[in-house]
Chain A
Amino acid sequence: MPSDASLPAGTTAPAPPGPLRAFWRAFRENRGAVLGLAVVSFILFVAVFANVLAPYSPIEQFRGFSKLPPFWVEGSDPKFILGTDAVGRDMLSRLMYGARVSLFIGLSVMVVSMVVGVALGLAAAFFGGIVDVIIIRVMDLIMAIPSLVLAILIIAIIGPNLTNTIVAVTIVGLPRYVRLVRASALTELTKDYVTAAKVSGVGKFRLMTATVLPNCLAPLIVQAALGLSDAILEAAGLGFLGLGAQPPTPEWGSMLADTRDLMLSHPWVMAFPGIAILITVLAINLMGDGLRDALDPRLRRS
Chain B
Amino acid sequence: MSMLEIENLTVEFKTGSGYFRAVDGVSLQVDKGEVLAIVGESGSGKSVSMLAVMGLLPWTAKVTADRMTFEGRDLLGLSANDRRRIIGKDIAMIFQEPMSSLNPCFTVGFQIIEALKEHLDLDKAQRKARAIELLGLVGIPSPEQRLRAFPHQLSGGMSQRVMIAMAIACSPKLLIADEPTTALDVTIQAQILELLVRLQKETGMGLVLITHSMGVVAETAERVSVQYAGQKVEEQAVKELFRDPRHPYTAALLSALPERAKGRKLPSIPGVVPGQFDRPAGCLFAPRCQLATELCHTTPPPRLDGALCHYPLKDGAPQNHPGLKERAA
Contact = CB atoms under 8 A, between A and B. Distances in A.
Partners in one complex: yes
Interface of A: 1-17, 22, 25-26, 29, 300-302
Contacts of B66: 5
30 contacts: A1-B29, A2-B7, A3-B306, A4-B25, A4-B26, A4-B27, A4-B231, A4-B232, A4-B303, A5-B7, A5-B8, A5-B25, A5-B27, A5-B66, A7-B25, A7-B300, A8-B25, A9-B300, A10-B279, A10-B282, A11-B19, A11-B279, A13-B277, A13-B279, A14-B277, A17-B16, A17-B17, A22-B16, A301-B16, A302-B58
A116 B64 CA distance: 54
B18 A14 contact: yes
Contact of B17 (A4, A7, A11, A14): A14
A4 B8 contact: yes
A5 B231 CA distance: 11
Main SS class of interface, A: loop
Interface residues of B, number: 32
Contacts of B232: 4
Contact of B277 (A1, A4, A5, A15): A15
A172 B132 CA distance: 56
A13 B274 CA distance: 11
Contacts of A4: 8, 25-27, 231-232, 303, 308
Given A3-B306, A4-B25, A302-B60, A16 B300 contact: no
B278 interface: yes
Interface centre among A2, A10, A17, A29 (most CB of B within 10 A): A10
B175 to A, nearest CB: 22
Nearest to A25: B16
B16 A26 contact: yes
Interface string B4-41: 00011010000111110100111101000000000000
B40 to A, nearest CB: 15
Contact of B300 (A10, A26, A302): A10
B16 A16 contact: no
B179 interface: no
A4 to B, nearest CB: 5
A3 B27 CA distance: 8
Nearest to A21: B17
Contact of B24 (A3, A7, A13, A14): A7
